[in-house]
Every structure is written in structure tokens, then in C-alpha cells.
Amino acid sequence: MSGHEFESYFPESGSVDLADQSTSIDETTYAELRDLASRYPQPRSALLPMLHLVQSVDGRISPKGIEACAEVLGITTAQVSGVATFYTMYKRRPAGQHHVGVCTTALCAVMGGDVLLETVSKHLGVGVDETTPDGKISLERIECNAACDFAPVMMVNWEFMDDMTPEKAIVLLDDLKAGQEVRSTRGATLTSWREAERVIAGFPDGRANEGPSAGAPSLLGLRIAEERGWSAPSDANQSPKAGSSTPTQAPTEPAAQAQEAAAGAVETPEAKVPPKQRRKATKPGEGTAK
């Protein structure tokens, strides 16, 4: 019966391009895949980093990459494909030399993430999940970059580009296309998406400490706490366990004030009754006629 077929709004989901059989996977790649599998008590636990390694070699999840992972782990290609097509970080079509992600979730959207994505898409001439014809840059809409204090945020090869504006984004994209050196706001100098994928797979490039680990907005709470002498309670300041006679430290002034305010805001059922209406509780049989 026609007219009731389900129409998918994600026609490319769940599919790996089997028509493209090109690959650069060789014996060195196989050795590294086996190395990853040996790092886990259960070899199959290595599948996620192994797929990232495949991407670092082939620029996507290739049919040969799926076969290689299945062979090393002793599982079926269907099982590998099920994982590879579930997570958005695994690309089913060739990604660009640089992979750009624009966050449009919640705070980033409020701060201009949608306008930022529109600007980037228009400047590159490609839509979301597409790659420029020259293979330089691919574009993705990201669901939360976990950097709300720097919104709106872009990522390039999974490195943060904070406090972005359409103007700054255009300069960044032009520098990437021209091969200019670009440094992450809070990270290393950008190399390429494939090299970043190799690091994610578990093969460090020695640049983990390049660049600041945190920015001023992330450290604001710590700075305020230091200025006011606040600190988290230590084990010695916690309430004693049952049967323990260890005394607890008196709450600090801000904490004591908060406790007093909370206590004053709580009304007991008895406090709600006017004094003249309160009665002494009686036991069964008391106050009854004899």
C-alpha cells in the first residue's frame, strides 16, 4: 500500500560509502590496531580508539578500516559498522584537512552561534556535514562544545576557538585555507584533523601542554574563593560517622549565616497554630468522660 512509507530526514545516517574502496591502511596500521587492542583487558574495548586511528589514516571510516578492526578484534564487520555509524565523530565520507565545528546549543545559540554557523557556511560555500571542493575544510554543527563560559565557541580539529564572532571566523577560515599558522585559544597550534584523530586514538604527539589549560572565565570562581578565603571542607571537617566521637569544626561565618537563615525560614506545624489554640497531647483514655 503506497502513501504511508516512512520518510527519513537523515538519508545518509547509518551508511558507510561502500563504493569508495580506496585505503591507505597497511601493515603499520595493522600493528598499531593490534597495539591498541592489547591495551585493554577485553580487546573489544579498543574499538573506539581503533576507529579514530582508521580515520587518521583514511580520513573517514573506510570499508577496509571496518574489515581491519573486525579482523584484529575477532568480531563481525556488522558489529564494527554498528559502532562506527552510531557516533557522530566517525565520518562516513571524507572529512577535510581541517574539521570545523560550530556550537549552536543553548548558550552558544543565545550568544550568536546560529549566526556564526550561517556565516561560516556561506563563506565556505558548503552546508553542514559537507566538505569544500578543494578538500580543505569540512563543516559540522556541534551539540555543545562544553565551553559555555567562552560562548559562542567553534572547534577546529577538536581544539577550542573561544569567543568567536562572524568577523573573527572569516579571518580564521581564510588562514586555514591559506595554510597560515593558527593557534587554538586554549590549546596547541593546529596541525590537521587526521593528526588530531591519531592523538585521540591514543598516540600522543607530545604537544599536550602547549597553550594554557584554562582561561580567565573558567578560573573566576577560584579567584573569588581565594580572595574571600573560602575553601572546600576537608575530611576532618565532615560530620562524623555513626559511633565516631570526632568533633566537627564550627561552620564558617558565611555558612553559619546561611544555616540560621534556613532555620528561620522553616515553620513547624506547631508554630503555625496560635498559642491559645495549642493543646497538650493526651494519652488514650485521658480527658474522656468517666
Query: Is the pLDDT assigned to residue 273 strictly greater than 70?
Result: no
Give 61's contacts (C-beta < 8 A, 6+ positions apart). 16, 51, 54, 55, 84, 85, 90, 91, 92
β partners of residue 155: 101, 160
Cα dist. 178→71, 181, 269 in Å? Answer: 40, 9, 73
* Residue 145 pLDDT > 50: yes
Residues of CATH 3.40.30.10 domain(s) within the chain? 98-201
Q: Where in the chain is the domain with CATH 1.10.10.1590?
A: 11-94
* Amino acid at residue number 218: S
Q: 137 and 124 in contact (C-beta within 8 Å)?
A: yes
Strand duo 159-161 + 137-142: pairing: unpaired
Q: Are strands 98-103 and 154-156 parallel, antiparallel or unpaired?
A: antiparallel
| Among candidate residues 261, 279, 260, the one with its CA nearest the CA of residue 270 | 279
Which one of 1.10.3720.10, 3.20.10.10, 3.65.10.10, 1.10.10.1590 gives the CATH number of domain 11-94?
A: 1.10.10.1590
Which pLDDT tens digit goes with each residue over 234-252? 876 555 555 544 444 444 5
Is the alpha carbon torsion for 3, 9, 13, 18 positive or negative?
A: positive
- pLDDT digit string, tens, across residues 96-106: 999 999 999 98
CATH for the 98-201 domain, from 3.40.30.10, 3.40.800.10, 1.10.10.10, 3.40.190.150 = 3.40.30.10
Residue 30: which residues within 8 A CB-CB, separation 6 or more? 68, 72
Whether 123 shows a pLDDT value over 60: the answer reads yes
CB atoms within 10 A of CB 162: 18
CB-based contacts of 157, cutoff 8 Å, min separation 6: 98, 99, 190, 191, 192, 193, 195, 196
Q: The C-alpha cell of 160 is what? A: 577550542
Asked if pLDDT for residue 7 goes beyond 70, the answer is no
Higher-confidence residue: 210 or 171?
171
Q: Tell me the Cα Rg of the chain.
A: 29
Q: Quick check: 213 pLDDT over 80?
A: no
Distance in angstroms (rounded) separating the CA atoms of residues 252 and 126: 57
pLDDT-based confidence at residue 20 (cuts at 50, 70, 90)? confident
